[in-house]
Structure 1
Amino acid sequence: MTRPASVTLTVIQGPLEPAEFVFDERTTCVIGRSRDCHPKLPGDTDHQTVSRHHCLLDINPPDACVRDFGSRNGTFLNDRKIGQREQGQTPEEGAATAFPEHVLGDGDEIRIGNTVFRVTITAEQGSPSVLRCVKCGREDSAELNARAGDHLCASCRTDPQAAAELLLDLARSSDPALAGITGYTLLRELGRGGMGAVYLARQQVTGREVALKVMLPKVATNQVARGRFLREVVITQELRHPNIATLHDAGFAGGTFYLTTEYCPDGSLDQLVARRGGRLPVDEAVRLFAAALEGLAHAHERSVVHRDLSPSNILLHRAADGALTPKISDFGIAKAFDLAGLSGLTLTGATAGKPSFVPRLQVVDFREATPAMDLWSMAASLYWTLTGLVPRDFPPKQDPWLAVLQSPAVPIRERTPQLPGPLAEVIDHALAEQPGSGFRHAADLRRALLAAV
């Protein structure tokens, strides 16, 4: 059996138990004194200068990075201080300074307070000495640590349309892995993001139109990672509901994943809000979200959690009478792609986005997936739809992930005072993040919203 890559933290100084933390899958960990940290440092006199949330490790074996959160005494990497708020600054002021990430290598040592961790990097068995792009054939050394598998160079990853056209060409040559997109042609781009792009495609024989999504891995893709991701896709394919965008087919070829989904010509919720001037009226917004929550309840009843809900993946379909029906798309897809290690390192300073709709628990327990997380993200999306603002404040220079860890949602009536009080109470309750707070079932949130207007 092939030995997987791993990143190990071994305690070589300090009383911490356990003395070894082994990570052989994609994850993140926050180190500090807070009880939700892992590893959690003790609150004794030897660690009184350690912050509650001290630093972040972003791990995608065999790659790993560390970033300080503006801690009181800093984080030391091989005895070099890599972060510390200035003398006299409050924790909040220190948090407003974003410190860079630092790549970890085999044998590095991280010191936090009086605890020292030694980093051990174990490469995947059979890792190549030279990387060659499966699309253009160019040799590439862009990865931190080489992986076995199909590799796309940095240049090819910036051209998702070329990747989509290559997939369709391969499908015309009767590649069995691409049977789901045989006979399709690209019409136009619908949107793009960090993982790839989405195109409108039409099947020549039937005239059927679908949204074709191409996803470009940032690391070499081996059989284990492919299988892990595509198994999640199969679970999503089984969802059938009027408020869920149907996932038709999925596959992999030429270093690229593809998905075909139901095409919703009226775009996404965020596009609708932009066309309406930045927010929707209460009645319309609650109607759309009540319907979307029916689709979410259907998925949760089948143990499927989305893990990446936002206004951009609530799609809209207009009926003959003009009424808009919301359809949730991409159930678990983005998160499954990341958990399979295919996104590279995503929470480090150079690549992190703003986690506007991410619940706190999803940061402290990266691999966790619960319906409550989706409900927080759904409430955050409704909050944005009604106010034009996200629930948390994200100061310009603050590390966004520390904001998620430490900043509660701003009560919605502080954003929009004229919002009805009962509706504001429901949304604020849904955005509470203390243990046991908020809603636990999509049907409960839906009933509460409808009763509040």
Structure 2
Amino acid sequence: MAIPFQQLEGKYEILEKMSEGGMGAVYKVRHRLLDEVRVIKVMRPHLAEDEVLRKRFIREAKTATRLRHSNLVQVYDFTMDESGYFFLAMEFIDGIDLYGLAKLTKIVPLGVVLEMAYQCLNVIGYLHKKEIVHRDISPDNLLACRDDEGELLVKLIDLGIAKVREGNEQLTATGTFLGKVRYSSPEQFQSQEGHEVDHRSDIYSFGIVLYELLTGVYPIKGKSISSLISGHLMHPPLSFDISDPQGRIPEALRAMVVKALEKDQSKRFQTAGQFQKVIGDLRAAFPVEKTFLDGVFEGQRTPTTKIRVDKPGSTQGRLDRNFGFETTPSKGGSSLPDPELDLV
């Protein structure tokens, strides 16, 4: 049951605007009573008037609030104000997304990659068991951070275009493409021909993410949208002999990634659990390099500047009025990189 908006007023204090796009904005906030940092995702009212987008945003909230997994970002609150703004309050992850990690360092050590892959496949498998296909597995939807003991922890975010196998409601028109072209499976481009997008699509998408983490190279041939689609559909991934000429990546791991990137769904790993098991068998030989993690996370701790107060009528002003926000300087931490912001 949705919480009445009045009950959320005065609950949060804004710290900073993390990102903003055509769909809405993402704010870093502090829960006033719990003194806990969280994130609020806002959808603009003119988009809420679009029935499909509105239902998709509500579905994301409903889906996310009932899911509990250590590798999945937690959703706390969801509400809508009298003007049609949607607000989704979520867990704040003090870390770096895998897109930012790839930009920060050319090559990620094998032990770190394998640990991240194991955790990613763990949460992907959890979603699949709940009959949920994410459909948007990509580096900017996977965040690396540390848990309470200082160990590496990966969090999957954004269920906005997830496909939930329940009920008869159709939120996507037949043939409509959803996702990021660089990380989409062949079948995501073939829905008009009757190809079903199922859990094996996420395995393909994660295969691309894993290839990039291992080599620092994108494996699909093409630079334009049309050539990338053609690459997904018809061309094999870039050979490891080219992307890893020194042979740093073990043959067994190369074979796993190639299997995940099969064009034919039936030739891929059939479950995330199968993929996770073979990754788990290999990761014992490659411990996590903690000095690498120290450098990554310490490098992310840059001070934030004083928050600009926007003029009345802006998204910032509306948040301040409706949630009882006050602008204050941030208490440190880091903002996440914002490639291809997708607020749906």
Query: Same-fold call, TM > 0.5?
Result: yes
Query: 1:245-295 CA distances to partner (integer Å, 9 max, x unpaired)?
Result: 1122223343443322111111322223322x2331111101111012111
Query: SS at 1:409's partner residue?
Result: coil
Aligned to 2:250: 420
User: Which structure dedicates a bigger proportion of its chain to helix?
Assistant: 2
Match of 2:35 among 196, 207, 221: 207
- Number of residues paired by the alignment? 269
CA distance in 2, matches of 1:440, 1:433: 13
Are residue 358 (structure 1) and residue 187 (structure 2) matched?
no
Match of 1:447 among 251, 274, 277: 277
Query: SS at 2:118's partner residue?
Result: helix
Query: 1:5-28 CA distances to partner (integer Å, 9 max, x unpaired)?
Result: xxxxxxxxxxxxxxxxxxxxxxxx
Are residue 318 (structure 1) and residue 146 (structure 2) matched?
yes
CA distance in 2, matches of 1:190, 1:220: 21
CA distance in 1, matches of 2:101, 2:187: 29
State the Cα distance separating 1:301 from its structure 2 match: 0.9
Aligned to 2:102: 273
State the Cα distance separating 1:322 from its structure 2 match: 2.7
Query: SS at 1:206's partner residue?
Result: coil
State the Cα distance separating 1:220 from its structure 2 match: 6.3
**TM-score, normalization: structure 1?**
0.53
Are residue 261 (structure 1) and residue 96 (structure 2) matched?
no
Are residue 370 (structure 1) and residue 198 (structure 2) matched?
yes
Alignment of 1:6-405 (within 5 A): 176-177=4-5, 179=7, 182-192=10-20, 195-216=23-44, 219=47, 221-222=49-50, 226-253=54-81, 254-275=83-104, 277-331=105-159, 333-334=160-161, 340=171, 355-365=181-191, 368-396=196-224, 398-405=226-233
Q: Match of 1:451, as an amino acid?
A: D
Q: Measured at CA, do residues 369 and 247 of structure 1 come closer, stay the same or move farther in structure 2, by a change above 3 Å?
A: farther
Whose Rg is larger? Answer: 1
CA distance in 2, matches of 1:402, 1:181: 50
User: Which structure dedicates a bigger proportion of its chain to strand?
Assistant: 1
CA distance in 2, matches of 1:205, 1:199: 18
CA distance in 1, matches of 2:19, 2:86: 16
CA distance in 1, matches of 2:10, 2:176: 33
CA distance in 2, matches of 1:325, 1:370: 26
Query: 2:95–2:143: 8 Å Cα contact kept in structure 1?
Result: yes
Query: 1:217-270 CA distances to partner (integer Å, 9 max, x unpaired)?
Result: 775625565345413431222110111111222233434433221111113222
State the Cα distance separating 1:400 from its structure 2 match: 3.6
More off after superposition, 249-258 vs 353-362: 249-258
Query: SS at 1:210's partner residue?
Result: strand
Query: SS at 1:436's partner residue?
Result: helix
Query: 2:68–2:74: 8 Å Cα contact kept in structure 1?
Result: yes
Runs of 4+ in structure 1 deviating by more than 6 angstroms, as ranges, are none
Q: Measured at CA, do residues 389 and 372 of structure 1 come closer, stay the same or move farther in structure 2, by a change above 3 Å?
A: same
Aligned to 1:24: none
State the Cα distance separating 1:403 from its structure 2 match: 3.6
CA distance in 1, matches of 2:180, 2:125: 27
Query: 1:245–1:315: 8 Å Cα contact kept in structure 2?
Result: no
Aligned to 1:49: none
State the Cα distance separating 1:356 from its structure 2 match: 1.2
Q: Measured at CA, do residues 242 and 435 of structure 1 come closer, stay the same or move farther in structure 2, by a change above 3 Å?
A: closer
Q: Match of 2:204, as an amino acid?
A: W
Which structure has more relative contact order (CA 8 Å, sep 6+)? It is 2
CA distance in 2, matches of 1:262, 1:388: 29
Query: 1:411–1:428: 8 Å Cα contact kept in structure 2?
Result: no
Q: Match of 2:101, as an amino acid?
A: L
CA distance in 2, matches of 1:264, 1:207: 15
Aligned to 1:115: none
**TM-score, normalization: structure 2?**
0.68
Identity rate, percent: 26
Query: 1:54-86 CA distances to partner (integer Å, 9 max, x unpaired)?
Result: xxxxxxxxxxxxxxxxxxxxxxxxxxxxxxxxx
RMSD: 3.1
Structure 1 gaps, min length 5:
1-174
CA distance in 2, matches of 1:442, 1:180: 38
CA distance in 2, matches of 1:310, 1:393: 17
Structure 2 gaps, min length 5:
164-169, 284-344
